Amino acid sequence: MVSPGKQTASAASRLPHPVRAAALDVADLRREFPALRQRVHGHPLVYLDNAATTHKPQSVIDTVAGFYRRDCSNVHRGLHTLSTRATAAYEESRDAVARFVGAADRREVVFTAGTTAGINLIASSVGGGLIGRGDEILVTGLEHHSNIVPWQLLCRREGATLRAAPIDDRGEVDLDAFEALLGPSTRLVAISHTSNALGTRNPVRRMADAAHRTGAIVVVDGAQALAHEAVDVAELGCDLLAFSGHKMYGPTGIGVLWGRLELLEDLPPWQGGGEMISNVTFEGTTFREPPYRFEAGTPNIAGAIGLGEAIRFIERVGVAAIGDHESDLLDYGTTRLSEIDGLRLIGTARNKAAILSFTLPGIHAHDAGTALDFEGIAVRAGHHCAQPVMDRYGLLATLRASLACYNTRAEIDALVDGLRRVIEVFG
């Protein structure tokens, strides 16, 4: 297997992310999202659940619908006009993803069903080859279940051990403990770029460099990153990156696994079927080169095409402008929430994304979330598929308000007012 950490030149230097110099015109931007115009229980929708999924701009909706109206056909398998058009649009989306993440080669972009599918693909492909009995996989205490459970299953199959680096009271990974857990038995390190439960941004490059010094492969869960900031895989220094389209204004059921081409070429496929083969006989099968060896069967064609349009939407708005706007909302939201007596912010990392996770005194998160919904305010209540994070703070659940480019200070004010009413009713 090729050595981990070997990086090709970043494509980002050749194709920089477009940057919009002016601040966002959020009122104008919101007009592109038809779902935001609705009322819920008689109130204007205040949608603050973007870490779970974002709403879709009209351009993405039109792109997906246009495929089904005009170009619906299977890809790579036909010579007729509709198949040719569908294939061209599908592969143009692969190019858009490659540009967006700074891939050195379009063959490094594998379409999947989402972040979870991408991580499970890796866990299946490295089993029996990279990971064996006595080996170790290292994760952190911040991880989503989709970056824990696949590795547990792999360890169970192969006789390996899963270890976890602890987090501190701020919700930051203890980097000294993380580096101390690395050793000659560490074969794979899987870390989140940004915590979905707390918003903590990890110092991925430092962690990847430390892991590579021990010879480990580095996998990054990027689900919470790509809609909010520029992500360049060469700058991250990782070997594999998984993310989902539906968290970045794209359709559900589509995602991406980016991997260094040398590594993908060395990994076996995880599913067998059509499209991923070069030749099949009853005596044996030869497989295609990446990315197609990992894309067995008919893919989510409409989803991939919609993801390409979602990326173009983000580029038109400007990644830098989105980041500045969300940073302002995070600061404003942190200040406003701190005005509520007894409210406890969970996760106060020095570098964090626009996610506000908190508890109310004596009120279960589910009760508060349901009450807010009756005022048209959508937040997430629960353990956020990150039970080890909740355990670290001695909690069963938190309320989570997660922000996107179309959110406003006025919506944060509505949340604060709603929380005060919740406390009056339940307190």
- Give residue 374's identity as a one-letter amino acid code: F
Token pair 């060896």 in the structure block, residue: 293
Token pair 């970043």 in the structure block, residue: 10
State the catalytic residue, choosing from 72, 155, 385, 405.
385
- What gap in Å lies between CA 226 and CA 241, rounded to an integer? 11
How far does the chain reach from its first CA to its final CA, in angstroms?
59
Of residues 2, 5, 3, the one with CA closest to residue 234? 5
45, two tokens: 């929708």
Burial of residue 62, with CB atoms counted within 10 A of its CB: 0-12 exposed, 13-18 middle, 19 or more buried = middle
- What gap in Å lies between CA 298 and CA 280, rounded to an integer? 18
CA dist 76 → 85, 289, 292, 305 (Å): 10, 15, 10, 14
Eight-state DSSP code of residue 18: P
Distance of CA 348 to the CA centre of its chain: 20
Instruction: Give SS3 for 351.
Output: coil
Q: Is the Cβ–Cβ distance between 319 and 227 less than 8 Å?
A: no
- To the query of whether residue 385 is one of the catalytic residues in this protein, the response is yes
Eight-state DSSP code of residue 114: S
Which residues are marked as active site? 385
